[in-house]
Amino acid sequence: MLLGRISDIKSGLVLVRKKAAIQQEVKKTYNLITVKNIDDNGVINNEPYDKFESNEILEPIYFTEKNDILIRLSYPYTAIFIDEEHSGLLVPSYFAIIKIKNDMFLPEYVALYLNTEKVKQELLKSQTGTMMPSTNKNILNGIAINQLSKEEQKK
């Protein structure tokens, strides 16, 4: 089954468009998840979150929710499962937010699957750009996810 058929995939927020230029413009400050907060294994570490001062109140679509998967859009394309503890973080545009919409797939399994060497090699082959190779939503939509029983996925 293709990732694009079992999920909704959206890019994070382009930060420069919403960053307050001066202190008087700050409408709200958010905790921002960055690459320094993520281990290569797909685990959120204990590094403090950066603070993002926004010139407006941001839409909920740019924040992590329980059971989301974030995937880094540049090498090493690390996927992160979001649990309750890590919900509510602002997601920048160098991550994509994946929301599983098919009950036959566990988000934890999909995140683990996206971190396999097979998927990372597939992403490397289809990368775009030369200075900072990256992937995009269309490429992510085409990733084939092995459909296993829920019992197998839990293992």
Mean pLDDT over 37-46 rounds to: 90
Q: Report the domain count for the chain.
A: 1
Q: Are 134 and 127 within 8 A, CB to CB?
A: yes
| Centroid of chain to Cα 24 | 31
pLDDT for the residue numbered 134: 72
pLDDT tens-digit map of 44-77: 998 999 999 999 999 999 999 999 999 999 989 9
pLDDT band at 25 (very low <50, low <70, confident <90, very high): very high
Domain membership of residue 125 (yes or no) is yes
Which tokens belong to 84? 């309750």
Burial track 128-145 (b if 16+ CB lie within 10 A, e otherwise): eeeeeebbeeebbeebeb
Tens digits of residue pLDDT in 87-138: 999 999 999 999 999 999 999 999 999 999 999 988 888 766 555 657 788 8
In Å, what is the CA distance from 130 to each residue of 35, 120, 134, 137?
Answer: 20, 18, 9, 18
pTM for the structure as a whole: 0.92
For 38, the domain range is: 3-146
Residue type at position 40: D
Q: Is the pLDDT of residue 155 over 80?
A: yes
**Which secondary-structure segment (H or E) carries 51?**
strand 50-54
Contact between 93 and 137 under an 8 Å Cβ cutoff? The reply is no
Q: Token pair of 6, please?
A: 């079992």
Judge whether 155 lies within some domain: no
Q: Is residue 151 part of a domain?
A: no
Give the CATH number, domain containing residue 69: 3.90.220.20
Is residue 152 assigned to a domain?
no
